[in-house]
Amino acid sequence: MKSVYDVIKKPVITEKSMMKMQQDKTYVFEVSVDTNKTEVKQAVEEIFGVNVAKVTITNVKGKEKRMGATSGFRPDRKKAYVTLTEASKTIEFFDGMM
């Protein structure tokens, strides 16, 4: 069985994710490739102590990269968009970034 810290790899900090965070309390995390929505929801609720309303997951395919004649692909990854309930508190980790 996976630990909750194996499910969530890292937060995604971009302009788009910061805008979603301020507008509708949606946080973006990079998660492991073999997780599902219920595992992400349980992990966020346990780690940060918040109430999750909705989880949306997107698969991001790796880009093709070239170095001279050699070509290869970056690894595939998975992102989770976690929306909190209105009554839930915010995640303190992101408060200093806004």
CATH of residue 46's domain is 3.30.70.330
Count of structural domains, the chain: 1
pTM score, whole prediction: 0.88
- Would residue 56 count as lying in a domain? yes
Domain of residue 51: give its range: 4-64+73-86
Q: How far is CA 12 from CA 1, 5, 9, 70, in A?
A: 25, 16, 10, 29
What does the pLDDT read at residue 98? 62
- Would residue 20 count as lying in a domain? yes
Q: Judge whether residue 95 has pLDDT over 90.
A: no
- Would residue 51 count as lying in a domain? yes
- Would residue 95 count as lying in a domain? no
- Would residue 11 count as lying in a domain? yes
97 HSE (CA, 13 A, CB side)? 16
- Would residue 98 count as lying in a domain? no
What does the pLDDT read at residue 58? 97
- Would residue 91 count as lying in a domain? no
Tens digits of per-residue pLDDT, 52-70? 999 999 999 999 999 999 9
